[in-house]
């Protein structure tokens, strides 16, 4: 009888779900983001990101993105393009970076509520992620579709229009696809900082970003405390400008 009770207890224990684990990390994230307005309707967008973890000690990823932008209206744009990520290993002793190919489509709208600027962005991504094992490429890829929704508020704090503003932004990222089992919720990114315009074309924002990300196994999470510094270059090549230029900022990997 005792043996039966022990066996039942062992089976019940084995079926218990894993305990939630949250890994706390300190990171630094910097990037250069650019928008080039070439014609009244068409332009280009490109950005490059570097994120390091354990402060500045170790690489987290390198990321490059390129796309075409179409101005549907003065404050509403559509864009699509390609991006590539080089993801550093998180397993101790591994050294090989994994690749990710990504296609994306996005819609972005700017609006004004009193003195507060509101930016809303919806982005859809198709991602092909390289599967690694024992620090080597397995020859297999994981495909997922991910949707992202961003809201960003900018409140001016200087007398000069557009010179200095406080920024509060939040972005939610959701996964879909046959290979998504335990982490339909991918991550949430909330940012608080300030934006400073250096010139007509150049600006930057800096502040604190908290990234809370669920890993594919479902019970492991990363809580990344991130110091963020993003630079923006927005240039208008048109000689005859029919409407004010729209600034496409607050873009992250």
Structural domain for 190, as ranges: 26-236
Work out the mean pLDDT of the chain and round it to a whole number: 89
| Percent of the chain scoring above 70 in pLDDT | 88
Q: Which structure tokens are listed for 113?
A: 């509520």
Helix (H, G, I), strand (E, B) or coil at 180: coil
In a domain, 165, yes or no: yes
Residue 155 domain flag: yes
**Would residue 160 count as lying in a domain?**
yes
Q: Tell me whether residue 41 is in a domain.
A: yes
| Phi, psi of 135, deg, nearest 5 | 65, 30
Confidence class for position 3, pLDDT limits 50, 70, 90:
low
The DSSP bridge pattern shows strands 116-133 and 136-156 to be antiparallel
Residues 6 or more apart whose Cβ sits within 8 Å of residue 141: 128, 129, 130, 131
Q: Give the whole-angstrom CA distance, residue 110 versus residue 234.
A: 15
HSE (side-chain half, CA atoms, 13 Å) at 29: 26
The model carries a pTM of 0.88
Give pLDDT tens digits for 112-153.
999 999 999 999 999 999 999 999 999 999 999 999 999 999
Q: How far apart are CA 125 and CA 102, in angstroms?
A: 7
The answer to whether the beta carbons of residues 186 and 215 sit under 8 Å apart is no
60 token code pair: 């987290």
Query: CA nearest 230: which of 110, 105, 51, 90?
Result: 51
The CA distance from 122 to 152, in Å, is 12
Q: Which residues pair with 194 in a beta bridge?
A: 166, 206
Main-chain dihedrals φ then ψ at residue 194, nearest 5 degrees: -135, 155
Residue 121 placed within a domain: yes
Asked whether residue 248 carries a pLDDT value surpassing 60, the answer given is no
pLDDT of res. 36: 96
How many domains does one find in the chain? 1
Mean pLDDT for 64-83 is 96
The answer to the question of residue 7 being in a domain is: no
Lowest mean pLDDT among 60-69, 101-110, 174-183, 244-253: 244-253
Would you say residue 245 lies in a domain?
no
In a domain, 248, yes or no: no
Residues in the chain: 253
What is the Cα–Cα distance from 168 to 190, expressed in whole angstroms? 8
Pick the more confident residue, 2 or 223: 223
Q: 9-57 pLDDT, tens per residue?
A: 454 444 566 889 999 999 999 999 999 999 999 999 999 999 999 999 9
pLDDT computed for residue 242 by the predictor: 53
Alpha-carbon gap, residue 97 to 58, rounded angstroms = 12
CA atoms within 13 A on the CB side of 35: 24
Cα torsion 194, 197, 198, 203 to 10°: value is: 80
Strand partners, 129: 100, 142
pLDDT given for residue 222 in this prediction: 95
pLDDT value of position 70: 97
Residue with tokens 């002793």: 93
The residue that leads in pLDDT, 55 or 226, is: 226
Give the pLDDT score at 139: 93
Tokens of 28: 């630094």
Q: What is the CATH number of the domain that holds 120?
A: 2.40.160.40
Q: What does the block give as tokens for 197?
A: 């315009």
171's enclosing H/E stretch is strand 164-176
């Amino acid at each position: 009888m005792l043996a039966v009770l022990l066996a039942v207890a062992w089976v019940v224990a084995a079926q218990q779900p894993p305990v939630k684990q949250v890994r706390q990390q300190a990171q630094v994230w910097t990037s250069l983001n650019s928008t080039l307005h070439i014609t009244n309707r068409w332009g280009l967008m490109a950005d490059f990101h570097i994120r390091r973890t354990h402060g500045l000690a170790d690489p987290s990823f390198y990321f490059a993105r390129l796309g075409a932008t179409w101005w549907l209206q003065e404050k509403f744009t559509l864009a699509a393009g390609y991006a590539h990520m080089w993801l550093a290993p998180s397993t101790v002793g591994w050294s090989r970076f994994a690749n990710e190919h990504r296609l994306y489509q996005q819609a972005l709208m700017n609006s004004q509520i009193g003195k507060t600027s509101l930016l809303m962005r919806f982005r859809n991504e198709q991602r092909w992620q390289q599967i690694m094992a024992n620090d080597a490429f397995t020859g297999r890829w994981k495909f997922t579709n991910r949707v992202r929704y961003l809201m960003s508020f900018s409140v001016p704090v200087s007398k000069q229009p557009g010179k200095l503003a406080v920024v509060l932004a939040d972005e939610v990222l959701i996964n879909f696809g046959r290979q998504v089992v335990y982490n339909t919720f991918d991550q949430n990114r909330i940012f608080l900082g300030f934006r400073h315009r250096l010139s007509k074309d150049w600006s930057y924002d800096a502040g604190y970003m908290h990234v809370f990300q669920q890993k594919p196994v479902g019970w492991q999470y990363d809580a990344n405390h991130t110091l963020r510094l993003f630079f923006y270059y927005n240039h208008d090549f048109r000689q005859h400008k029919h409407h004010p230029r729209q600034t496409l900022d607050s873009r992250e990997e």
